[in-house]
């Protein structure tokens, strides 16, 4: 960073801006949720650290930093963590240990991918950086088609009372509440890209029929194997070994008695460790698995996956590899009646998929000699893990005064009522976000002083710069802002249907009107960005720093106002700690992003490093950090509350007879939380 030498010269302003950027974005993410919301802090922080890097070669790529930073942080948005937070409140020693361990682990995975996305445009050469947009666009199109068309088809197969939120576990495609369908859609898109990109190889005169023949032959083999197993009765042996109901036998017995049903009837309402469709169409499993093997065999032999498509394939295969290994094959009660390899039963297990994405990314980076990105992942991941678990500990410390669960004096409880009525979860989120920002600042600061220049060759793919800016300004904004429309309609702040002005008989939903207006604005914005490439527009600064500042402020203003608008219809004093603090932090961030980056200032170099040795030392620091979180933070929490439940969260346990998954399993006919 500017004035950076090793870590000793890291300016306080750099740490503050990076921390505020991620804290602001993380507070907003809490209101919008999931992958789309997680992209907001990723984009803001990546732009900020790029501008403050003191690296002109980085600043020339500021739009790419914003885009890949957003994508990197998006992965963690798929992981369920509220139950892990609740474990730390429980007062049960084993659950609290697991809770702080889980928060460190989830925080590590989230921040590691965030660090990867932020460091990627700094390390990778310009040719490969811009080439990767082609397969990435195919994935985006694949997801769009899946969401808008294929998913609607699957919903027609669901029960009549199916609800996409509260009854999603009844869907044929439900599988541990995980994003396996989205991952499958990405794989299909990558295979389609490979067929097109390498079409001379795949669609040549003598190979055009090879793919269907290979898939058909293996499908037939799978069908025959399944038929043999069925005729010999061995299919039930295989099923017993591989298929496990996600429920405690004690619950089944108690529920059968209480409901006046047979245990078989109760069991039929429970989930298994495979998609529900397996229970409905078991006769198709053999040929389907065979077809998958045939498809994989063909592309392993003939696939090239150029233009960076191999990175995304590594991610997808890693996702499925860890997901199948941990929650699917090892997630059932194999020792002492506990599900040791499920993080938050009965909630989702996307953590395993994200772990696979991290592993797949690391393998690809090492194979392609991008080890500095791995180093950034490790540094940011460790700090992110400590930030999540440490932020939760700060929350528990803040909740201790006047806590009605541990204080019997009603006068003391009354004295601290207002204090304890604050939105402490938002405090946790914004604190955790700040720690993550510090982690990114340190990781990128280490790279800034240790990497050689990476200017790259001129490229004809100038459209990728427009794509990157549009992705941040319009893509990320739209994906989150659209949720406001649904919320406003729900709060009766906006009519669900509105008539077209001056035109009788034309009525469209609020969502359609929003899409029309936002779409028009996005098209005009993209047109102006494209025009700027050919004929510079005076509004756009001439320098890379100026362009980055404009991008940062425009995006920050958009998401800050968007977040305020979401809460405005039902605003209360309690929102001051969220929207109020976010607004104040945003004002400070604008001040810093304008004053701190300096043209002509370059970072002093400390020289290249042995990343193998650096990774080894940092990994040991990670082990120490994990022990601090798992043991030390649990010790502090128990020092504050003893065996008492601390409140301010659902009373949930991970282990023992009262474990949440044992007493409240997810049943197909019951509401899913």
Instruction: Say if CB 549 and CB 51 are below 8 A apart.
Output: yes
Domain contains 576: yes
Residue 448 shares a structural domain with residue 482 = no
Domain contains 344: no
Q: Is the pLDDT of residue 153 over 80?
A: no
- If you count them, how many residues does the chain have? 673
pLDDT in the model for residue 157: 63
Tally of domains in the chain: 2
Tens digit of each residue's pLDDT (9 = 90 or more) over 88-99: 999 999 999 999
Using 50, 70 and 90 to split pLDDT, how confident is the model at 457? low
> CB atoms < 10 A from the CB of 84, how many?
28
Residue 586 shares a structural domain with residue 446 = yes
Residue 40 shares a structural domain with residue 107 = yes
Domain contains 102: yes
Domain contains 24: yes
The 8 Å CB, 24+ separation contacts for 179-184 are 179/78, 179/350, 179/353, 180/275, 180/320, 180/323, 180/353, 181/146, 181/151, 182/143, 182/146, 183/316, 183/319, 183/320, 183/353
Mean pLDDT of 474-493: 93
Q: Is the pLDDT of residue 633 over 70?
A: yes
Domain contains 267: no
- Asked which of 88-102, 244-258, 595-609 is least confident by mean pLDDT, the reply is 595-609
Using 50, 70 and 90 to split pLDDT, how confident is the model at 8? very low
Residue 557 shares a structural domain with residue 425 = yes
3-state class of 245 per DSSP? strand
Tens digit of each residue's pLDDT (9 = 90 or more) over 349-386: 999 999 999 999 999 999 999 999 999 999 999 999 99
Mean pLDDT of 396-400: 95
Using 50, 70 and 90 to split pLDDT, how confident is the model at 79? very high
Using 50, 70 and 90 to split pLDDT, how confident is the model at 5? very low
3-state class of 491 per DSSP? coil
**By residue range, what is the domain housing residue 593?**
1-124+370-456+545-568+570-639
Residue 507 shares a structural domain with residue 585 = no
Residue 394 shares a structural domain with residue 475 = no
pLDDT in the model for residue 209: 87
Q: Which residue has the higher pLDDT, 668 or 315?
A: 315
Q: Provide, rounded to the nearest whole percent, the portion of the chain with pLDDT above 90.
A: 71
Domain contains 187: no
Domain contains 73: yes
Q: Which residue has the higher pLDDT, 292 or 424?
A: 292
Q: Is the pLDDT of residue 155 over 70?
A: no
Residue 435 shares a structural domain with residue 488 = no
Domain contains 68: yes
Give the integer Cα–Cα distance in Å for 173 and 558: 36
Using 50, 70 and 90 to split pLDDT, how confident is the model at 22? very high
pLDDT in the model for residue 357: 98
Mean pLDDT of 643-666: 90
- Asked which of 65-74, 243-252, 318-327, 374-383 is least confident by mean pLDDT, the reply is 243-252
Residue 91 shares a structural domain with residue 9 = yes
Using 50, 70 and 90 to split pLDDT, how confident is the model at 4? very low
Q: Is the pLDDT of residue 466 over 70?
A: yes
62-74 and 34-51 helices, crossing angle to 10°:
150
Residue 35 shares a structural domain with residue 66 = yes
Give the integer Cα–Cα distance in Å for 39 and 65: 12
Residue 507 φ then ψ, to 5°: -130, 135
Residue 220 φ then ψ, to 5°: -65, -40
pLDDT in the model for residue 2: 44
Residue 419 shares a structural domain with residue 551 = yes
Mean pLDDT of 228-250: 91
pLDDT in the model for residue 10: 65
Residue 2 shares a structural domain with residue 49 = yes
> CB atoms < 10 A from the CB of 203, how many?
13
Instruction: Say if CB 24 and CB 433 are below 8 A apart.
Output: yes
Give the integer Cα–Cα distance in Å for 263 and 245: 13
Q: Provide, rounded to the nearest whole percent, the portion of the chain with pLDDT above 70.
A: 93
Tens digit of each residue's pLDDT (9 = 90 or more) over 180-227: 999 999 999 999 999 999 998 888 766 778 999 999 999 999 999 999
pLDDT in the model for residue 491: 87
Give the integer Cα–Cα distance in Å for 592 and 20: 10
Residue 375 shares a structural domain with residue 493 = no
Q: Is the pLDDT of residue 31 over 70?
A: yes
């Amino acid at each position: 960073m500017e004035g950076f030498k090793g870590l000793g010269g890291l300016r306080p302003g750099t740490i503050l801006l990076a921390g505020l950027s991620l804290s602001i974005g993380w507070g907003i993410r809490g209101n919008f949720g999931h992958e789309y919301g997680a992209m907001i802090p990723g984009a803001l922080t990546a732009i900020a650290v790029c501008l403050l890097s003191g690296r002109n070669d980085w600043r020339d790529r500021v739009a790419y930093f914003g885009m890949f930073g957003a994508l990197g942080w998006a992965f963690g948005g798929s992981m369920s963590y509220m139950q892990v937070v609740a474990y730390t409140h429980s007062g049960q020693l084993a659950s609290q240990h697991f809770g702080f361990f889980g928060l460190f682990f989830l925080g590590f995975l989230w921040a590691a991918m965030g660090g990867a996305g932020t460091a990627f445009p700094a390390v990778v050469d310009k040719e490969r950086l811009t080439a990767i947009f082609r397969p990435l666009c195919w994935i985006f199109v694949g997801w769009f088609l899946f969401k808008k068309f294929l998913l609607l088809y699957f919903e027609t197969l669901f029960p009549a009372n199916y609800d996409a939120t509260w009854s999603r576990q009844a869907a044929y495609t439900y599988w541990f509440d995980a994003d396996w369908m989205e991952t499958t859609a990405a794989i299909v898109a990558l295979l389609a890209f490979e067929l097109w990109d390498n079409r001379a190889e795949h669609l040549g005169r003598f190979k055009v029929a090879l793919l269907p023949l290979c898939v058909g032959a293996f499908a037939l083999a799978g069908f025959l194997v399944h038929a043999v197993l069925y005729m010999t009765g061995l299919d039930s042996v295989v099923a017993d070994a591989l298929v496990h109901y996600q429920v405690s036998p004690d619950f089944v017995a108690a529920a059968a008695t209480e409901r006046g049903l047979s245990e078989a009837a109760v069991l039929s309402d429970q989930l298994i460790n495979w998609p529900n469709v397996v229970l409905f169409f078991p006769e198709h499993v053999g040929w389907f698995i065979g077809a998958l093997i045939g498809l994989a065999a063909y592309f392993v032999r003939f696939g090239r996956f150029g233009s960076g498509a191999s990175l995304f394939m590594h991610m997808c295969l890693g996702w499925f590899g860890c997901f199948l290994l941990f929650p699917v094959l090892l997630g059932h009660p194999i020792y002492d009646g506990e599900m040791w390899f499920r993080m938050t039963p009965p909630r989702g297990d996307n953590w395993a998929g994200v772990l696979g994405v991290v592993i797949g990314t690391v393998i690809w980076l090492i194979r392609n000699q991008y080890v500095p990105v791995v180093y950034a992942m490790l540094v940011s991941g460790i700090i992110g893990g400590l930030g999540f678990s440490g932020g939760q500990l700060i929350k528990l410390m803040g909740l201790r005064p006047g806590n009605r669960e541990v204080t019997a004096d009603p006068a003391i409880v009354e004295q601290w009522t207002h204090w304890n009525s604050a939105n402490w979860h938002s405090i946790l989120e914004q604190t955790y976000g700040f720690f993550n920002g510090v982690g990114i600042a340190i990781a990128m600061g280490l790279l800034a002083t240790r990497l050689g220049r990476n200017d790259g060759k001129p490229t004809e793919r100038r459209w990728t710069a427009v794509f990157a800016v549009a992705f941040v300004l319009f893509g990320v904004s739209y994906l989150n802002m659209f949720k406001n429309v649904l919320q406003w309609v729900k709060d009766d702040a906006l009519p669900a249907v509105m008539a077209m002005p001056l035109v009788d008989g034309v009525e469209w939903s609020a969502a359609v009107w929003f899409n029309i207006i936002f779409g028009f604005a996005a098209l005009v914005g993209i047109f102006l960005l494209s025009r700027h490439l050919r004929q510079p527009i005076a509004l756009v600064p001439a320098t890379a720093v100026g362009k980055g500042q404009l991008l940062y402020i425009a995006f920050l203003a958009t998401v800050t106002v968007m977040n305020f608008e979401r809460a405005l219809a039902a605003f209360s004093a309690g929102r001051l700690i969220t929207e109020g603090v976010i607004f104040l932090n945003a004002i400070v961030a604008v001040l810093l992003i304008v004053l701190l980056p300096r043209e002509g200032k370059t970072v002093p170099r400390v020289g290249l490093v042995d990343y193998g040795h650096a990774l080894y030392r940092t990994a040991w620091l990670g082990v120490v950090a994990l022990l601090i979180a798992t043991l030390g933070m649990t010790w502090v929490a128990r020092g504050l509350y003893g065996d008492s439940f601390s409140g301010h969260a659902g009373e949930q346990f991970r282990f023992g007879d009262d474990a949440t998954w044992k007493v409240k399993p997810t049943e197909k006919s019951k509401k899913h939380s």
